[in-house]
Structure 1
Amino acid sequence: MKKGIKRLAALIMTMTMVASMTACGGSEKSEGSSGDTVKVGLLHSMTGSMAISEQAVLDAEKLAIQEINESGGVLGKQVEYQEEDGASDPSTFSTKAEKLIDQDGISTVFGCWTSSSRKAVKSIFEDYNALLFYPIQYEGMESSKNIVYTGAAPNQQIVPAIEYLIKQGYTKFFLLGSDYVFPRTANMIISAQVKDAGLEVVGEEYADMSQTDFAAIISKIEEAKPDVIINTLNGTGNVSFFKQMSEKNYTSDKYMTMSFSIAEEEVATIGSDILKGHMVSWNYYQTTDTAENEKFVAAYKKAYGEDRVTSDPAEAAYDAVYLWKAACEKAGSFEVDKVLEAIETGDISYDAPEGTVTIDGGNHHLAKPVRIGQVGEDGLIYEVYATDGPVTPDPYLETYDWAVEAGIKPLE
């Protein structure tokens, strides 16, 4: 009887130690490294309203992994990936993130799109001391030692877009977004910026992520008579809104839009005949003129078909895999703590298709160039403005007096 109790106690102690090591990222299993391979997770929406956008991101990550493996891998190991479907649902993202880390022993994940999905998994990565590479522009007001943000901070997309519109003479802004964290926080930022410029927000409306009928919102736009619509719709909402505007013969000449979540993939789905002339703000376009981008576009089309297009989110996801590789090689390890130490000491850079990007060791965002674009008749986006070089990330907008005075806070 005593021997049985001792065995049970030893078993419980062993299980406790394994759980502790897994949670802290300290075991070999938790690093996803075994033998000649290292495993990473890919967590995106393959179904639901966000699948229209996230498939391109997933494809870009797979392309980067394939290229890295063909060139010898990372630290002598071939990279394997495990896919999970977030199904356009934050709670599903949370469940799948925990599965990848806790059950599958994977410590590095590339994933999410919406801020709701990122916020749903943030505490999981922090609690398990795992690492998330998040590839999408977002509203800022956040930093985490367990997340590397490879998309734009608000001062690298939202703020310069509004600055550009103001310089172009736009004065009456209508704010339209999906009803979740990114659009609401983005519009809080935009409202403060527009007010500081002495201009006017003439309307602010939100649509459910699954909403397909925009008749009521279009009526409010007609009544408000804006000279520009700031669009933060995401997913299939963009398709419905622009097609219903087109049915009323509303073009960019009648209602100009500046969109923050429409890239080449969405243009291909909605139609260049509908979107031509409208503006977008990103850091990269398929037409970006760099030698690295020429190679990226050629490789992407070779892998997925000549009719496929690259985009800013896809490029930022592609960059994320290469930045992880650079951080692991600087650390000489896949262990999360050592990789984080390599990131936080700085100088993790990559000559990306958009230009050289560098991780800021303090806030884990990238220094990136800013580009304002306009949709052409051929469905591609052409740069109409660009910064001279990379812009230092300022996720909390601490360098803008109007933002500090407005007391902009993160939304949950």
Structure 2
Amino acid sequence: VNIAANISLVITSGVELCADKPRQTERASVTAFLFSVSIINFVKAVSLLRHRSRLRRLVRRLVAVRAAFADPAGTRGRYARHAALLASTWLVTAETNVAFWCLDPLISEAAGGAAAERQLPLPLWLPFNQSRPHSYGRLFALEAAVLMSAVQIAILVDALFVTLIINVTAEIHVLNSNIRSMSKAAASGGGLQSGGTIENTTTSDESTLVANLHRSNVRSSNSAISDISASGRNGKSADDEMYGLLVKNIQHHQLIIICVKELEKAVSTGTFALLSINILNLCSHIFSLVVMLEGENSVSAITKMLVAVPVFMCQSGLYCLTGQAIIDESARLSTSAFSCGWPDADQRFKRSLRLFMTRAAQPLHIRVGTLISLSRATFQELLKGSYQLFNVVYQVHTN
């Protein structure tokens, strides 16, 4: 239904934009905006269908990692609350903006009185006369329903992707905490950092790691007690405890790398389209807003354009700033490893720690479209590019 709604919006707004060529700045801008956003939403919906198996696999993997590696500080809970708050805020903001777009014709008609011309929510080309009074109500309801259906899935996809990014960031934060506390955990004899165990293998092969992780979850309830009692009977040294903890943390890091790669593949196409087209949308809306303020336009029309600008900025910022959190947390891994109490460990531990620090020196990041990394710098470049493009368009308009 969502894909069909977006296809219909792309066709009707494209014909309106190319064939009828609206002369009013507001109508032309809204039509171009509707055309571009419908393309983004269509790409998102197709990308979600294409990668639905990968997303399910990623969610299962994150659940398995959460079960295998403990979080004594409750970091995952804090990140989960943060993700829920961020997703809810975005849903409310976007839905409010869509509702305002649907109600704008009614507000304009009420403010303009009897002389005001009846308008529909969307500036679309339709193969019949839209001004007939008996069909206005049905057309209004149909366009509002199509708009809500087309935008709904895109908003939910944004919330889903951002939630997954935040959950991956939480795992990196947990790994940082566990690495820093290795010496304390070994000294207290709390060698087990998880409810289960993972077999001692440092291979980076995805299938081996995941298979070991699933086998560990099956026997997690018994292995925790048996490993602790065996450690006491066999007189396991502090060096062995620290090395065992390091191996577990390296396995945790390898699984996080796999999750980041899977997430990158899932979000790449839709996010790249969104960030690329949002530059044009932001520029178009700012330009239209400036032109409308110079002329005589309704307050509701100006408000509609004004409200859309921060929505674009928030949408791009959601992806870029949460992606920056992954970079920041993974960049701390080397510092956490240096603070783990390594001077008192044996040479075996130090050699493995050096290898881990070498790999951790390359911060994890999510690259979309093979060109753009989700980061704070990318968000700044998007805003800068939109402003520069606006200056060019406005100079051409004034001259």
Q: TM range, normalised to the smaller chain?
A: under 0.3
Q: Which of the pair has more CA radius of gyration? A: 2
Identify which of structures 1 and 2 has the higher relative contact order when contacts are C-alpha pairs closer than 8 Å and 6+ apart: 2
TM-score by length of 1: 0.22
Structure richer in helix, relative to its length: 2
Structure richer in strand, relative to its length: 1
TM-score by length of 2: 0.22
